[in-house]
Structure 1
């Protein structure tokens, strides 16, 4: 059987991580893997998480199965944070716990394929590299279109509208709710309004990937585009991740939410989610969701978490400001949000940055802004200059 398989290429990001760890240079800089790092260069366990884990250690009295739906208290406690505490939408939303945001996307794709096998998934590029494979693996046709022109670091909105005008009623439109990965470039409020009107007019189904809430501007501001879209459409899906904003990367904590104005159809769709989850992973892992539940059930821990998240957000945006101020060609980075920005550079340049300069970033030119230190700014700018990634006629400004 195995002799019929073809060897698959190694994941490029995992290979990048391995190469970074193997590099003996003390001056090396990791802008590759998408995790937050603090002032000591570590990805810490948040204080609220530590306290929640101690609470669980003392009070949790069973490790029994929860069922394919997972921890529904966790799912429901997230609803007001995502959709708004006073939203009328709350009565039209059901959810299920998933193994991370990736699990939510895959489960949603499976549900789409079951409900409408002919649905096409429209995906703006560049995007998170796993988006297209997830939808494709669920046997859905993926239609991509240019979302951002990296040369200008601007959304190509005409191309977005042009592409979606070709979509059929019932097709899926994947949207990054905030902190676009990999570009850090989000729709403006006016563009979100136009996209929303287009979705309604064309009867297209938004599938919102909300993986970085609270790491752009704030929990509330980062949720506004999602709430705007959901207030207008009849049906939608939201894939949510707690991996980044709770720092629970390895725990794989996520949820998938369905929105429908038709209560009977929503109930049927919910039963199908449970059925699909059962044959995919049977039961989701409990520990991470239990941590989030313990935090959100406690007013004290919730405030600690929100304070920590504000600190993280401020640090990421501070890194952006420092890098943008260091060179005119990087000024656009200050206006972007989230963990990432994406330079318009070739694979040859990113390879040279790794080999010659010890600056590691994805072949696509994606940089993890949340992984750098302010002291890295000068090295990053000088390295980009050395490899021809910046306009050499523009003088770099020393970072202070």
Structure 2
């Protein structure tokens, strides 16, 4: 028997002001629901709903998809204001939109960052329902100030329609961004108070932003009022909400600035989320036998769901590379059979954790090598 030993390294590492009418002054912020409006956006029942939302059974927020599609290259924050179910359109009314921000959880920075931010939506249009027909038209009257957009509407304009708005697209760094969130401020005049429902969402787009690939989530619905409300939504599963300090988004919406030095490359650097602070493993030894190879590694006691073994006859793992997932956190060895004589292998490992429908990986261990001489 021949043994080849390898060593690795281990690393570790979110008073009271009176509301004033119309646009004479900025309304105060009022959160609906519980103590954390970010969490509430996906867990609390909608305050009101449109006919479209009822038909789609969206009484609560829903995570709909992720960014794993190869076509998903950019993300776009967005929102919609629908006539609430059972309500009648006012003859004339006004909707106001304040700041809109898009956020991502950065694994490399270990925090939430702002990846798009504007004092009001960059686009506002009226879309004819149902959404599938994709017909839209300009609003007849929009007034912009330094801190909000004022949209004057009529019953005729909004008949069987929805007011749709958005920010600008931001690049997806699939190797770093794990979760996404969006928030915007909105309020109305007296004529529209209590009659409309606001929701938020995030779309993924293709490389030039011209095509929608998937919608990542849909939030619960909030009722329009004459005081400012903040509508939230996000893609963080409930069971890891606290682990990623998602409530810190509340403060980041109020004062956080666009993250400097954002990833702007032509292509993402990878498609696998890597958490640099996740516990790593290290290869203990590689034992070679007759046309077989046995790999042993150090067990990580907690915080993971399994291991990935990558092997190649290329020391940089660029070509002729394969991998095996070990979906048992307590495993410490793996045997490979039917290996050709005279072949030199390079092997490395990393741990992974299941986060929602996605796997998040640790950094790679140091590589080991072995050669079967027969």
TMscore range, shorter length? under 0.3
Structure index of larger Rg: 2
Q: TM-score, normalised by structure 1?
A: 0.24
Q: TM-score, normalised by structure 2?
A: 0.25
More helix as a share of residues:
1
Relative contact order, CA 8 A, sep 6+: which one is greater? Answer: 1
More strand as a share of residues:
2
